[in-house]
Amino acid sequence: MLQDILFAGILAFILMWPIQAAFRIIKVIFTRSTEIGYHHHDADTVIEHCCNLFPEDILRFNGAIFQRGMVVQVTTNTHRTIEGQFIGTNKDNMVCFVTPSSVVAHKLGNIEKMSMVRERD
C-alpha cells in the first residue's frame, strides 16, 4: 500500500515535469516574456550579466527616455505590472528589468505603458 502511494507520487512527478516544461516554453513563445528568479546575494553578478545581454542602456518609449538604473513601472498588454530596475534593451527588441527577486525580459512590443518610479538608490 505505501509502496503503491510512493510509486504513484514518483510517476506523477515524472509525468508532470515535461508537461510543465512544455507550458513554460509555450508561454515564452506566445508572450515573448521570461522571468528568472535569483538569490539576493547574487544581485551584482546578475545585473552584470544582464548588462552584457542587454547592452543598449537608453530606451525611448512613448516620448520618454529611460536610462539604465532607473526604477520603472511597466504595464504589459496582458495587464501585468512589473516594477524593477531598467537594465537595457537588445537588438531583438527585448527589454530587461531586475526586480528584487527576479530578472524579467519582455518584448518591447508587448509593453503598453512604462513610467519612471525613481532613480536608482
* pTM reported for the whole predicted model: 0.66
Q: What is the mean pLDDT of the chain?
A: 82
Both 8 and 57 in one domain: the answer is no
Owner of C-alpha cell 537588438 = 91
**Which own/partner pairs from 48-53 qualify as long-range (CB within 8 Å, at least 24 positions apart)?**
50/87, 50/88, 50/96, 50/98, 50/103, 51/87, 51/88, 53/90, 53/96
- Does 73 share its domain with 108? yes
Give residue-wise pLDDT tens across range 51-99: 888 899 899 998 899 999 999 999 988 888 889 999 999 998 889 988 8
Do both 60 and 24 map to the same domain?
A: no
Q: Same structural domain for residues 14 and 46?
A: no
Is residue 35 predicted with pLDDT exceeding 80?
no
Q: Can you give the residue range of the structural domain that contains 75?
A: 34-118
What is the pLDDT at residue 113? 92
pLDDT of 33 reads: 60
114 and 79 within one domain: yes
Distance (Å, whole) CA 58 – CA 69: 10
Q: Which amino acid is at 3?
A: Q
Mark whether 93 and 66 lie in a shared domain: yes
